[in-house]
């Protein structure tokens, strides 16, 4: 096995395993949703095949794509079609080089906010820690080309949030790694659920902006061991 093969094998294994976390946290139904991960040092990423049960995913079934979303021929999994969201993931990787992982789910509460075209307000400290403010809404975009990817980049570039609610669709999250993006997806749904329940019981109490800033900076730069703040 060459060094290049080794570099691809690791994200294949990681991305395949991370799909189980989407199931474990109740973020997906049937085969909807996907995780992708960038191949370090190469203009490549791996992503889930389309229409394959989560129970049947293996490292070998992950599909290797270039940053234009084209399947690399002759590689394991290349006989299958990649996720229908591949063009969106590819667009994010091309335009946000700091991103190492992308996740899409149809998690119930986050989709409910997206269906209203409404951002999730930052009214709990956990949201301030993780997202540094509200979780924004991206534009309505239809699967089929890179329109969704353009909306993700347009909304999240320069924003502290690692999650976006694509209007009438659902959440996409980004991270420095695929695992980081999965964590953001889990925390996005948790925030969506908690804030929805709180709002149904009465008016929300906003967090002062300076408190949001202080919580975010502490969590991202001080909390836990140096260099591993996001956990």
For the question of residue 54 being annotated catalytic, the response is: no
Q: What is the 3-state secondary structure (H, E, C) of 42-91?
A: CCEEEECECCCCHHHCCHHHCEEEECCCCECCCCCCCCCCECCCHHHHHH
> Quick check: is 4 catalytic?
no
Q: Is residue 185 scored above 80 in pLDDT?
A: yes
Q: Where are the beta strands (DSSP E) in the chain?
A: 34-38, 44-47, 63-66, 101-104, 137-138, 163-166, 170-175
The active-site residue out of 19, 89, 109, 129 is: 129
When pLDDT is cut at 50, 70 and 90, the band that residue 71 belongs to is very high
pLDDT in tens, 147-165: 999 999 999 999 999 999 9
- Determine which one of 85, 89, 91, 169 is catalytic: 169
pLDDT of residue 144: 80
Catalytic residue among 95, 106, 159, 213: 106
Active site residue 104: yes
DSSP string, 186-200: HHHHHHHHHHHHHHH
Residue ranges per structural domain of the chain? 3-221
pLDDT confidence tier of residue 3, bands split at 50, 70 and 90: very low
| pTM flag (> 0.85) | yes
**129 catalytic per annotation:** yes
Tokens 């199931």 found at: 23
User: What per-residue confidence (pLDDT) applies to 4?
Assistant: 66
d(CA 50, CA 78): 12
- What CATH topology corresponds to 3-221? L-fuculose-1-phosphate Aldolase (3.40.225)
pLDDT > 70 fraction of the chain, expressed in percent and rounded? 95
| 3-state SS, residue 111 | helix
Rounded CA-CA distance 62/83 in Å is 10
pLDDT surpassing 50 at residue 227: no
**Model pLDDT, residue 226:** 38
145 tagged catalytic:
no
- What order do you get walking across the sheet with 44-47 strand by strand? 63-66, 44-47, 34-38, 101-104, 170-175, 163-166, 137-138
pLDDT for position 180: 98
pLDDT band at 6 (very low <50, low <70, confident <90, very high): confident
**Annotated catalytic residue, options 19, 89, 104, 180:** 104
């Amino acid at each position: 096995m060459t060094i290049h093969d080794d570099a691809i094998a690791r994200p294949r294994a990681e991305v395949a395993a991370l799909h189980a976390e989407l199931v474990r946290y109740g973020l997906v139904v049937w085969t909807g949703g996907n995780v992708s991960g960038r191949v370090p040092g190469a203009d490549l990423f791996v992503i889930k095949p389309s229409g394959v049960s989560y129970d049947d995913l293996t490292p070998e079934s992950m599909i290797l794509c270039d940053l234009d979303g084209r399947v690399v021929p002759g590689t394991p999994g290349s006989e299958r079609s990649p996720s229908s969201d591949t063009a969106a993931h590819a667009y994010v990787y091309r335009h946000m080089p700091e991103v190492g992982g992308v996740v899409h789910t149809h998690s119930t509460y986050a989709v409910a906010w997206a269906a209203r075209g409404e951002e999730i307000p930052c009214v709990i400290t956990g949201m301030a820690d993780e997202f540094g403010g509200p979780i924004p809404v991206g534009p309505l975009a239809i699967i089929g080309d890179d329109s969704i990817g353009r909306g993700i980049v347009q909304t999240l570039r320069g924003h502290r949030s690692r999650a976006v609610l694509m209007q009438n669709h659902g959440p996409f999250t980004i991270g420095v790694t695929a695992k980081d993006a999965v964590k953001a997806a889990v925390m996005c749904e948790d925030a969506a659920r908690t804030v929805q329940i709180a709002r149904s019981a009465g008016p929300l109490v906003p967090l002062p902006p300076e408190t949001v800033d202080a919580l975010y900076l502490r969590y991202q730069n001080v909390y836990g061991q140096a260099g591993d703040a996001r956990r």
